[in-house]
Amino acid sequence: MSISDSEQKLMELIWENEPMKSGALVILAAEKLGWKKSTVYTVVKKLSVKGIIKNENAVISSLRDREDVIGEKSERIISKSYGSLPMFLTAFLSREKLTKAEAEELKRLIDEYTED
């Protein structure tokens, strides 16, 4: 399930404030994102069709966790742009050096998520 940048911006507001009335979301999106009411409702409809949120009786709440949605988006970006996670890391590290603490954290994560 693909989520656009604009959909992600609205989702961040929803995740931080859910459940919330659609009117309150319109006000918050106007304040934080500069969006008009029609824009909010258009994006809400798209997110609802994608099964990421539900809008029942004008109360909006998420159906998917932030980590899942952002994780899937990150995987698609890495796959599309770099082909694989190792290729992404190679490209990233060729421009950016890690601190010892960052390297240790990455090693720990790799060990934690490595298949047996």
Tokens encoding 97? 């050096």
Q: H-type helices in 18-116, by residue range?
A: 22-33, 37-49, 66-82, 85-93, 100-113
Is the predicted pLDDT of residue 4 greater than 70, yes or no? Answer: yes
pLDDT digits 0-9 by tens, 37-89? 999 999 999 999 999 999 999 999 999 999 999 998 888 889 888 998 889 88
4-19 average pLDDT score = 96
Instruction: For the chain, give the percent of residues with pLDDT over 70.
Output: 99
Q: Residue 1: its pLDDT value, please?
A: 66
d(CA 38, CA 19): 20
What global pTM score does this model have? 0.76
d(CA 54, CA 52): 7
Is the predicted pLDDT of residue 116 greater than 90, yes or no? Answer: no
- When pLDDT is cut at 50, 70 and 90, the band that residue 93 belongs to is confident
